[in-house]
Amino acid sequence: MNKLTIVLAALIIATIATAAVYTSLPAAPTPSISPSPSASPSSNPTASPSPSLATPTPSSTSTPTPTPTHTTPAASGPTPTPTPGPTNITVVDGAGRNVTLTVPINRIVSINSGLTEMLCALGVQNKLVGRDQSSTMPPSVLNVTVVGGSSYDPNVELILELKPDVIFADSMLPYNTVAMGQLANAGIPIFISDPTDPEPTKHSNSTVVDFSCDLLSKLASIVGNQAKATEYVTYVQYYNNLVKQRIATLSPTQRPKVMLEWYQPYYTFVTPGLDQAGGINIAENQTVYAPLLSAEFVIEQNPAVIIRMESSLTHAEADFKAARDEILGRTALSNVDAIKNGRVYICDWNIRGGITSVVGYLYWAKWCQPTLFADIDPAAVNAELYQRFFGITVGGTFAYP
pLDDT tens string 7-38 = 334 434 444 334 433 333 334 333 333 333 33
- pLDDT reading at 70 higher than 80: no
Average pLDDT of span 307-330 = 94
| pLDDT reported for residue 137 | 87
Separation of alpha carbons 145 and 129, rounded Å: 6
pLDDT digits (tens, 9 = 90+) for 102-127: 999 999 999 999 999 999 999 999 99
Grade residue 83 by pLDDT with cuts at 50, 70 and 90: low
CA dist 296 and 313 (Å) reads 33
Nearest to 347 by CA among 384, 306, 392, 389: 306
Q: Is the pLDDT of residue 394 over 90?
A: no
Which domains, and CATH codes, for the chain?
Answer: 88-195 (3.40.50.1980), 251-400 (3.40.50.1980)
What would the pLDDT profile of 299-318 be if each residue is shown by its tens digit? 999 999 999 999 887 889 99
On the CB side of 217, CA atoms within 13 Å amount to 10
Q: Which of 365, 360, 379 is nearest to 258 (CA)?
A: 365
What residue ranges in 93-226 does DSSP mark as E strands?
98-103, 108-110, 128-131, 166-169, 190-192
Cα-atom radius of gyration of the chain, to the nearest Å?
41
